[in-house]
Amino acid sequence: MVSDSELKVCVLGLGYIGLPTAAVIARTGAKVLGVDVHQSVVDTVNSGKVHIEEIDLDGLVSGVVARGSLRASLNVEQADVFVIAVPTPFGENHAPDIGFVLKAATNAAIVLKAGDVVILESTSPVGTTEKVAELLASLRPDLKIPGHCVGVADVAIAYCPERVLPGRILVELIDNDRVIGGITPRCARKALQFYRRFVRGACVTTTAKAAEMTKLTENAFRDVNIAFANELSLVAEKMGVDVWEVIRLANRHPRVNILSPGPGVGGHCIAVDPWFLVSAAPEQTPLIRTAREVNDGKTDYVIGHAAAMIESNPAARVACLGLAFKANIDDFRESPALKVAAALAQRFGERIQIVEPYANALPATFDGTGAELIDVDSAIESCEIFVVLVDHDVFKSVPLDERADKLVYDTRGIWPDQPRLAGGEPLRLAS
Ligand SMILES: NC(=O)c1ccc[n+]([C@@H]2O[C@H](COP(=O)([O-])OP(=O)(O)OC[C@H]3O[C@@H](n4cnc5c(N)ncnc54)[C@H](O)[C@@H]3O)[C@@H](O)[C@H]2O)c1
């Protein structure tokens, strides 16, 4: 086995997963090349800076770039290990799009040599790693590709999903358990040797397909459970009961653990990946599909409820608190908060103010609406209605005496002490 300092690793895709992964591997002393299709990303990383917000990532990247352990390029170069961490969105009818994965594998194929390990980390539909092997076999008939050759293969191909939490990525990349699925058991063992260089959590080997489905299962589990909480929030509102109190009380049962409702489900993972299971087995997934629909439906409900509240108070200015898809991060992908705030801005124009401490400017979807980005203090001074969409710590810490006279629609339950009326009917501010 080559030493850490001799190991060459090529990470394809320098986003929320790829850049932290590249930096953590570079910290072991390995020579890491990060590849991205965007020149701006390559330039930023080569200057020792980061283009994404993640705790401690800036210091780590500047250190490993300064030491010469990490550099970035538009082009793939020869390496011992290739890690693919490119996007896997869905397209028409929620069908998964693995085009980025196949493109990255095609680029790696050009420089692939006997002895190399190719690992797919992107969240992928079941069977994608086998498709990567098939592609490599067709592009490199000179190499013995696992699943497409007799005897010992020249390269190893494996799937190893990420289950990191944004905001804790550098910790969880190392501490979390990893599931490593090989096209063959030998492939899994080769990939395992690589992860053992920097992972402290347990590394468990299995087949590529089982590892792919494990990742999708984890996210579908979260989605279904959040859908239960979101459905409860609608029932509780109809009954005039505080859902947060009901959940708190129900969770005192030793075998009940209900998650938190919110304005929907967002992010690159939980709002997307369950569709990969539904798309592959539509007849077998009524529950998973319904959970997706319940969570998306909650966003529409929040828009309608907030709009009714704003309409009932025509003179009031409105602060939408948060755009991110979850607390304390700058990631707005698939964010229900963004969707709600944008819908309200389109309808109510300059009455809507946006508070998002993780944004320097409003996203383009607000262009022409008249909505403005303001800080939380300005919102307290100038707005009468508060729509809480994200549970950022800075919002949680606003004390009751600064918001007691506000009309609050708290979709995250961050202010349990806020005076409220029972029932879901729109409230009217005292004139
Ligand atoms: N962000 C998360 O918290 C998270 C957690 C677990 C799993 N994942 C999965 O990891 C994968 C990557 O997610 P992400 O959040 O890092 O995405 P991202 O969009 O932040 O980053 C992906 C990067 O890949 C680059 N890219 C696209 N095509 C490329 C190619 N052919 N070669 C090289 N680079 C290319 C893009 O320019 C981008 O910088 C996805 O499958 C995602 O579902 C993400």
The architecture in CATH of the region 8-206 reads 3-Layer(aba) Sandwich (3.40)
pLDDT given at position 128: 98
Phi, psi of 104 (to 5 degrees): -65, -40
Nearest CA to ligand 1 atom 38: 15
Among 61, 106, 162, residue to substitute to test ligand 1 (most atoms within 8 Å of Cβ): 162
CA atoms within 13 A on the CB side of 245: 8
Contact present, 370 and 349 (Cβ < 8 Å): yes
- In the chain, the percentage of residues whose pLDDT exceeds 70 is 97
Q: Which of 134-143, 262-271, 327-336, 415-424 has the lowest mean pLDDT?
A: 415-424
**pLDDT, tens digit (0-9, with 9 covering 90-100), for 368-409:** 999 999 999 999 999 999 999 999 999 999 999 999 999 999
Rounded to the nearest whole angstrom, what is the distance from the C-alpha of residue 185 to the centroid of ligand 1?
A: 27
Among 16, 103, 215, residue to substitute to test ligand 1 (most atoms within 8 Å of Cβ): 16
Nearest CA to ligand 1 atom 30: 104
pTM: 0.91
Q: Check whether 431 has a pLDDT greater than 70.
A: no
Rounded to the nearest whole angstrom, what is the distance from the C-alpha of residue 227 to the centroid of ligand 1?
A: 26
Which atom from ligand 1 is nearest to the alpha carbon of 121? 10
CATH class belonging to 229-410: alpha beta
More confident: 295 or 418: 295
Going by DSSP bridges, is the β-strand pair 318-321/352-355 parallel, antiparallel, or unpaired?
Answer: parallel
Catalytic residues: 215, 269
Which atom from ligand 1 is nearest to the alpha carbon of 101? 31
**pLDDT, tens digit (0-9, with 9 covering 90-100), for 56-72:** 999 999 999 999 999 99
Going by DSSP bridges, is the β-strand pair 178-182/352-355 parallel, antiparallel, or unpaired?
Answer: unpaired
Rounded to the nearest whole angstrom, what is the distance from the C-alpha of residue 15 to the centroid of ligand 1?
A: 5
Nearest CA to ligand 1 atom 36: 13
Rounded (10°) CA dihedral 294, 295, 301, 306:
160
Contact present, 114 and 149 (Cβ < 8 Å): no
pLDDT given at position 428: 56
**pLDDT, tens digit (0-9, with 9 covering 90-100), for 120-136:** 999 999 999 999 999 99
pLDDT given at position 56: 96
pLDDT given at position 429: 61
Among 268, 272, 276, 326, residue to substitute to test ligand 1 (most atoms within 8 Å of Cβ): 268
Spatial distance between the Cα atoms of 85 and 431, rounded to a whole number of angstroms: 55
Rounded to the nearest whole angstrom, what is the distance from the C-alpha of residue 121 to the centroid of ligand 1?
A: 9
Which atom from ligand 1 is nearest to the alpha carbon of 12? 33
Q: Check whether 425 has a pLDDT greater than 80.
A: no
pLDDT given at position 5: 80
Among 11, 33, 36, residue to substitute to test ligand 1 (most atoms within 8 Å of Cβ): 36
Residues of the chain with CATH 3.40.50.720: 8-206, 229-410
pLDDT given at position 422: 47
The three-state DSSP-derived secondary structure of the chain is CCCHHHCEEEEECCCCCHHHHHHHHHHCCCEEEEECCCHHHHHHHHCCCCCCCCCCHHHHHHHHHHCCCEEEECCCCCCCEEEECCCCCECHHHCECCHHHHHHHHHHHHHCCCCCEEEECCCCCCCHHHHHHHHHHHHCCCCCCCCCCCCCCCCEEEECCCCCCCCCHHHHHHHCCEEEEECCHHHHHHHHHHHCCCCCCCEEEEEHHHHHHHHHHHHHHHHHHHHHHHHHHHHHHHHCCCHHHHHHHHCCCCCCCCCCCCCCCCCCCCCCCHHHHHHHCHHHCHHHHHHHHHHHHHHHHHHHHHHHHHHCCCCCCEEEECCCCCCCCCCCCCCHHHHHHHHHHHHHHHHEEEECCCCCCCCHHHCCCCCEECCHHHHHHHCCEEEECCCCHHHHCCCHHHCCCCEEEECCCCCCCCCCCCCCCCCCCCC
Q: Check whether 305 has a pLDDT greater than 50.
A: yes
Rounded to the nearest whole angstrom, what is the distance from the C-alpha of residue 301 to the centroid of ligand 1?
A: 31
pLDDT given at position 423: 46
Can you tell me the mean pLDDT for 28-32? 97
Rounded to the nearest whole angstrom, what is the distance from the C-alpha of residue 123 to the centroid of ligand 1?
A: 9
Q: Check whether 1 has a pLDDT greater than 90.
A: no
**pLDDT, tens digit (0-9, with 9 covering 90-100), for 73-132:** 999 999 999 999 999 998 888 899 999 999 999 999 999 999 999 999 999 999 999 999
Q: Check whether 424 has a pLDDT greater than 50.
A: no
Pocket lined around ligand 1, Cβ cut-off 6 Å: 12-18, 35-38, 41, 85-88, 100, 103-104, 122-123, 162, 164, 166, 268-269
pLDDT given at position 427: 55
Can you tell me the mean pLDDT for 236-263? 96
**pLDDT, tens digit (0-9, with 9 covering 90-100), for 160-170:** 999 998 889 99
Nearest CA to ligand 1 atom 7: 162
Rounded to the nearest whole angstrom, what is the distance from the C-alpha of residue 353 to the centroid of ligand 1?
A: 31
